[in-house]
A and B are shown apart, each in its own frame.
Chain A
Amino acid sequence: MGRPKPITRAAKALALSLIVLLVLFPFWTILATSITAPEEVVANGGWVVWPQSFSFRAYTDIFEGGVITHALTVSLGITILGTATSLFATITLAYALARPGVFGGKPVLIMVLFTFLFPPAMIPSYLVVKELGLLDSYPALVLPVLVNVFNLVIMRGFFQAVPTELIEAAKLDGAGELRILTRIVLPLSKSIVAVVGLFYAVSYWNAFFNAMIYTRQDMWPVQTLMRLYVTQGASLTENAASETGVANSPQAVKMAVVIMATLPIVIVYPFIQRFFAKGVLSGAIKS
């Protein structure tokens, strides 16, 4: 295509720098506000871009026990157990549906794909959870979102690409289906299991609505709890202050909570990113 003109290159560089800045700036100011000394945050009107004085008071405050610590623990537990259960149900179903001519494969596949067109509505889903007696229980945060159709479809696509010869050869050697799955198919599908696992983990960590309607406030994970403080005013500071007995800059504490709720995502993100680089998804999306 030839080398672009200098002016075009400069315009592109400018546009891209601006985009990167727009994406990263909000994270930066949140982080800066959370690690600035409370007096400076207050003096500056609740926001900081370039901290002059550092303090981790906001973090020690939220980790001195109390509601936020509890909510973070709940989030972590739901994420770990939920991801494991979801992966199990997704892998088993995807594997069975990936085998050609399996008994019941076609109707089950149609049944699953139909849910794409007509996803469950809010009120009927609520009634199902209620009828099952799952209200105010942690399984209510996992079971209603156990298998994601999109994740199932890309996983199945990946399993189908495992060469049939390998499976036939293993069968001739007397290997059963479970053995084929765990010894042949899964080791060849590590990258897709990782990607789908991370998708599940991120969605469990980020979920807030199901917890809000299905569970009591003292069971809430951090995202649900954050809603109270973030969009509904300053109740967090009152809460945190009464929990810990110290006053802090309300904004700094708020931002520290936001950072804590974002941190796990930022930590696992490079791993997800690595798999995108390999083109795992672009290939899967095409199908």
Chain B
Amino acid sequence: MTATAAPPERHPAASGGDETSPRKPKRRKGRFRRDLVLVALMVPGVAYFLVFHYGALFGNAIAFQDYVPFIGVWHSPWAGFANFVTLFGDADFWHATWNTVSISVLQLVFYFPAPLALALLLHSLVGDKVRKFVQSVVYLPHFISWVIVVALFQQVLGDVGVLNGVLGDAGLHTVDIIGNPDAYKPLVIAQVVWKETGWGTIIFLAALANVDEQLYEAASIDGAGWWRRLWHVTLPAIRPVIVLLLILRLGDILTLGFEQFFLQRDTVGPDAGEVLDTFIYITGIKDGHFSIATAAGLFKGLVGLVMIFTANKIAHRLGEQGVYK
């Protein structure tokens, strides 16, 4: 299965037996007629991307308008960069950006290495059965919705939850975790570690499976211990995967995932709980300042693009493959 699942990129020559070769541009019309059924098959999917992705991309135009829902996108007056000026002068916006970036950095430090560590642990197991069992357990939280994850955490860590119940029964001090602004950042990091660490191991385990066993044996014969083998054999072998994930993560530095933060924002208040995505939601959909919220969304998207390009460029400089060439 694995072998068939990794498809080789096809050369144009692969369809060489075909008399209407795709390399001859003057046969365009012929190709269209030949591929009529295939083109028809594309229609639903292409229509979806055009309407809901490119339509939305076009909708970003209202960031430069004084958009009035009643008049619509087509007739609202243009406003130049006025919305961006308002946005960048808004302390709440910068506060939300600061919260987002600091949680992002904390995620990078505490969450990003977690799947790699777990993957190394799983990979080092000798018994296949134990590994399969642990894998099937740790993948599970990935498929649980954020609403439920938040409920689970409240039930275990909340002020009437299991942890505080046990502490109280033992006559100890109870701890204030859920709804405590000071504990919010560690809490959201713990949640994402709980939910996604297991799933995150998949890509590392796939990379680890490709490391040449002979390299380990050679290193062992040379007297390399576990740490040295990890540092000199394992990590260099899976470095491209780590770099790839790191670049993608940097591209998402302003995107933490809306649901988790939306669900818990109100338990700690906007001061600790407001991130960019919730700011955009509140400003746009709740308060009806569509243009300003869209400007914030556009800012977020552009920063993401710039981050990906920059990170990718740095990776190239360092001799890595990166996300694209």
- Using a CB–CB cutoff of 8 Å, the interface residues on chain A facing chain B are 1-4, 12, 15-16, 19-20, 22-27, 29-30, 33, 44-47, 49, 88-90, 92-97, 99-104, 108, 111-112, 115, 117-128, 130-132, 143-144, 146-147, 152, 157-158, 160-161, 164, 168, 176-178, 181, 191-192, 202, 205-209, 213, 223, 226-227, 230-232, 251, 254-255, 258, 261-262, 265-266, 269-270, 272-273, 276-287
3 closest Cβ pairs, A-B complex? A283-B5, A93-B45, A101-B22
Number of residue pairs spanning A and B whose beta carbons lie under 8 angstroms apart: 303
- Using a CB–CB cutoff of 8 Å, the interface residues on chain B facing chain A are 1-7, 10, 12, 14-15, 17-18, 21-22, 28, 31-32, 34-35, 37-39, 41-42, 44-46, 48-49, 51-60, 62, 69, 72-73, 118, 121, 124-126, 130, 132-141, 143-148, 150-156, 160-162, 165, 168, 194, 198, 202-203, 205-206, 209, 216-217, 220, 258-259, 262-264, 266-267, 277, 280-281, 284-285, 290, 293-294, 297-298, 300-301, 304-305, 308
CB-defined contacts of A112 to chain B, threshold 8 Å: 45, 49
**Complex: A18 Cα to B2 Cα, angstroms:** 31
**Complex: A226 Cα to B152 Cα, angstroms:** 12
Decide if the interface of chain B is mainly helix, strand, loop or mixed. helix
Contact B10 A12 (CB under 8 A): no
**Complex: A120 Cα to B60 Cα, angstroms:** 9
A/B interface sample: 21 pairs, CB < 8 A: A3-B126, A12-B125, A19-B118, A25-B156, A90-B45, A92-B44, A96-B38, A122-B285, A123-B280, A123-B284, A123-B290, A125-B59, A130-B69, A146-B52, A208-B259, A230-B154, A258-B148, A265-B144, A273-B139, A276-B202, A280-B5
State the Cβ distance, A201 to closest chain B Cβ, in Å: 10
CB-defined contacts of B60 to chain A, threshold 8 Å: 121, 124
Known: A124-B60, A157-B6, A281-B202; 12 extra A-B contacts, CB below 8 A, are A25-B156, A47-B161, A95-B38, A124-B62, A146-B48, A161-B7, A181-B41, A261-B145, A282-B205, A283-B2, A285-B206, A287-B6
Decide if the interface of chain A is mainly helix, strand, loop or mixed. helix
